[in-house]
Amino acid sequence: MAAMEKETARIEAFSDGVFAIAITLLILEIKIPAPTSANLTAQLLRQWPSYVSFAISFAFIGIMWVNHHRLFTHIKRANSALLFLNLLLLLGVTAVPFPTAVLAQHYGGSGQRAAAILYHATYFVIAIFFNVLWQYSSRHLLGKDADVSAAAGISAQYAVGPLMYLACIALTWVSVPLSLLLNIALAVFFAFPPRARR
């Protein structure tokens, strides 16, 4: 058992590093205005979409890290399938800076709907990866003393994600700002620990 727990600890340590890198890369998308005759304050203010996208995506990756940690408090064993499923999830996490930059660059312009769809679609894929990772783990890798009600609560909470991110995508055809507000609301929803189902 100690060897198995050591393996899950290694997975968590590697994952923590990936989350840290992804969250750090977000700031690189905020550009330093070039020295020109234009007013620096005005140039900085014009970049407000980049600041908002950075803050939101920082919070989102942070919430994903918290949820990843919550999962691994229940996962007691590791195998090859878990390693690859965890890598799939990390693939989605490392992709977040790209749609964030695209959204910041095109928000308010003619391409804002396409940028928002890309943004929401990224989180839709991540939600799928979270569900696949958890569903496999909950069936095969929990300890004998697993809290069944807590595991059911996680499953119920995660099941909401893919459907709601699809709703975000659909909502872009009505209002891009509303679709982003729904995305933010989902982040708040996943920030809270799931309730145990009895």
User: Is residue 93 a part of any domain in this protein?
Assistant: yes
State the total domains in the chain. 1
Spatial distance between the Cα atoms of 135 and 138, rounded to a whole number of angstroms: 5
pLDDT, residue 52, reads 86
- pTM, full prediction: 0.87
Domain hosting residue 24, numbered range: 2-28+37-191
User: Is residue 197 a part of any domain in this protein?
Assistant: no
Contacts of 9 (CB under 8 A, 6+ apart): none
HEC states along the chain? CHHHHHHHHHHHHHHHHHHHHHHHHHHHHCCCCCCCCCCHHHHHHHCHHHHHHHHHHHHHHHHHHHHHHHHHCCECCCCHHHHHHHHHHHHHHHHCHHHHHHHHHHCCCCCHHHHHHHHHHHHHHHHHHHHHHHHHHHHHCECCCCCHHHHHHHHHHHHHHHHHHHHHHHHCCCCHHHHHHHHHHHHHHHHCCCCCCC
pLDDT, residue 37, reads 65
pLDDT, residue 44, reads 87
User: Is residue 198 a part of any domain in this protein?
Assistant: no
User: Is residue 196 a part of any domain in this protein?
Assistant: no
User: Is residue 22 a part of any domain in this protein?
Assistant: yes
pLDDT, residue 93, reads 95
| Average pLDDT of adjacent 10-residue blocks, the chain of 198 residues | 63 94 87 78 85 88 94 89 95 93 89 95 96 92 76 91 96 96 94 70
Spatial distance between the Cα atoms of 106 and 30, rounded to a whole number of angstroms: 14
pLDDT, residue 181, reads 94
User: Is residue 10 a part of any domain in this protein?
Assistant: yes
User: Is residue 96 a part of any domain in this protein?
Assistant: yes
User: Is residue 142 a part of any domain in this protein?
Assistant: yes
Spatial distance between the Cα atoms of 177 and 108, rounded to a whole number of angstroms: 10
